[in-house]
Amino acid sequence: MTVIGKGGHCRALGLDPKEAITSDRWEPTAQPVIVAIGDNAARKVVVEMVEADGGRVAPWVVPIPSMEYSRGIHMGVGVTVVHGAVVGKHVILNTGCIVEHGCSIGDYAHIGPGAVLCGTVTVGEGALVGANATVLPGLTIGAWAVVGAGAVVTKDVPAGETWVGNPAAPQAKWLRARMFAPFDENGDPA
């Protein structure tokens, strides 16, 4: 087993950083690879690098009946995933989060510790739902959006935006920074 990523997420997975490598030390191997990188965008880049080199990413999930799951999921202690959920590849389901019935979570997304996705929530690729946030039923969190810790999301969050608070609204700092954000006028990643 090769572990790429020596930081906090490596430790959170119970892996020993001393036995891990950084991505610049990666060499193709027949061994299964765990990409233990918490940053969603960095995890995507490294997974794609490993797969382009013919590397085999380790399946990292215990199958749950009636849940559809992909490769490379990191599932923390006390996670609850209810029937009908679809979880994309290299998703982090962090400690104690709850993914209710019929939710769909895109590749490279991160559901933070204690966060609750009520039923039929859709989370786009690379989105972060912060610790203890709640997303009300049927809503969509767009690709690479960020929901701040503790937020209560009552409306769809557009791709690439950062929303905080209760009820959640666009973060003032994010609004100020928007002109520099790597997203086009539709909010899609550029």
Ligand X SMILES: CC(C)(COP(=O)(O)OP(=O)(O)OC[C@H]1O[C@@H](n2cnc3c(N)ncnc32)[C@H](O)[C@@H]1OP(=O)(O)O)[C@@H](O)C(=O)NCCC(=O)NCCS
Q: How far is the CB of 160 from ligand X (least distance, A)?
A: 13
* Residue 83 bears catalytic tag: no
Between 67 and 149, whose beta carbon lies closer to ligand X? Answer: 149
Q: Minimal distance in Å, beta carbon 12 to ligand X?
A: 8
The rounded distance, in Å, linking the Cα atoms of 1 and 14 is 14
One of 28, 137, 165, 167 touching ligand X (CB under 6 A): 165
Give the separation between CA 2 and CA 107, rounded to whole angstroms: 21
Q: What is the Cα–Cα distance from 141 to 153, expressed in whole angstroms?
A: 9
Instruction: Say whether residue 170 binds ligand X (CB under 6 A).
Output: no
Smallest gap, in angstroms, from Cβ of residue 149 to ligand X? 4
Q: Which two tokens stand for residue 127?
A: 């989105």
Site string for ligand X, 84-123 (x = CB under 6 A): ----------x-----------------xx----------
Determine contact, residues 42/5, Cβ cutoff 8 Å.
no
Question: What single-letter amino acid sits at 146?
Answer: V
Find the binding residues for ligand X in span 28-87 (CB under 6 A).
none
Cα(98)–Cα(2) distance, rounded to whole angstroms?
A: 29
5 lines the binding site for ligand X (CB under 6 A): no
Residue 150 sits in the site that holds ligand X (CB under 6 A) = yes
Are the CB atoms for 162 and 183 separated by under 8 Å?
no
To which residue do tokens 């085999």 refer?
56
Given the rule CB under 6 A, which residues bind ligand X? 94, 112-113, 130-131, 146, 148-150, 162, 164-165, 171-173
Catalytic residues: 101
